[in-house]
Structure 1
């Protein structure tokens, strides 16, 4: 039976079909122009490159199909995150952020939002379950958290935030709309770094904000236009191409991650492991209810920093990089960035390599 998401993915692949005339290119043309022919302004679909371009429109149409919501694209995930926060906060407001989430979001809040009169409160992801959101204007969460992979019940947080008049923003970068749907669970806005799995090839910085409140999304769109935080045409074109294979890449990555996580959980060199797909993971039951897949990220703790760095050095099929979600597997010791994790903690991002070849290298590097 065809699922709703299957239908969305198929529509994504054919979303330009209705607008094609005889002889038009089937693949999206790259339109780098920043200026457009304007004998008059009224009715012009494009005016100036800071307002919109045909290439942005195409990738936003794809993402809108997946999110089932309006989408505004940005030149990076942080571009999307900062836009969502700037569109929803004013001086005197209070925002709650995850203390164990993506650290650059916290830096932005501390160094810029706080300076503009916004009260910033940080709590651990699991603490959201008991948090009192009274007085908050925005509750911002990231689930699974990056890099610790803790989960929180989005629908529960939304219900409690709404009861005190707060808006909810969810960073859905690690899951994508194929594996988790925060807007369906009541979130006001979703932010994501499409640099990761949607682009999928480590060659384009990109991000987006999605939402179903027209007035709120108009503020997000105005922030992009007025701040000038606009994506490039080449990056938009690359992400458009990447999105066409997202479904098949995610299927391979998640299936491989489940196999590898189960084996890592039994390996004597691994002192601790976090992967929501493991029945022993503390977030497993929530993951089964809230997500349609367990993702491709695995957190493991080795003995210490030296052992962890040695593993990455020896593993031929594990790129040492600070991003994730690409076709190639990658790993990083996150404590080097100041994350509150053990010195030997590694975030592994499983790619599309044949799983047995990948596991053979991982096992040998651990060995």
Structure 2
């Protein structure tokens, strides 16, 4: 008398699939080498940036004939002589100079004007602290702001696209080799999907935490403790937003991949998701100094993992905003998982031509 095998409990099935996803990646030399290279590039970038900041280029200063002698005595300055204040302000607004020292009726006889932030080396280097006038106050150093935006953007793009692509390839490979039929006979499709999402999320978060550790070490080694202090909270929020943002994307990548049966057809269904992953990277690079664009990005689920941490770093977000944004992301995540699971279940065992979205949703 034959007996059928005992069914696998759902939770056990999820962790078995997740463990399979993790171990297969950790055994991949290509994955380990690419991760190592990414970590080395991140560390090198931080170290080089820190060392360069300790050996800055000459500060460009505009002066008049009356103040030239005062500024020329300072170290590491490049002097541009102007006729009056109007010409100095013109150079400041075009960012040809970083500050201007012009005649003033005060005690010293001169004052410093700057566009967003007065160079501390100039202010401190003068015999006495002059009157400082800021034309357009800035919350952070523009160059630092750009590099932080670049960092958040690259990390999100690399991690989301790498592991999203991995999930898509895994799903199609299992369909193409018919392995999925064996898997589905043992566990439900939703359990298989959950295991894949959890396994790749664990790997993606491990990579994010490793990058955060590398960044911390690099900033400490280069003596950039002030930058580290301001980055603490944004990095934590980035990790939290990335966790749920990646779960959202992972479910959609798996669902999109389940609609095709050949590796060469993956792009047909995953291209829209790839564009969604790329959008936050380009937006934060080009609009990191635009409060309106960053504000919109911080509430759109697909870009919130980049937009909200940037706003927190520059001090443009209120304390309650990341909480509201996270709730929006969680709601979207739940909806995406439900839709993704339906598409995945209805498309997984359908071979041959690509499954249309309407058919996948109908079942």
Q: Tell me the TM-score normalised to structure 1 length.
A: 0.23
Q: Tell me the TM-score normalised to structure 2 length.
A: 0.23
**Whose radius of gyration is greater, 1 or 2?**
2
Select the structure that is richer in strand.
1
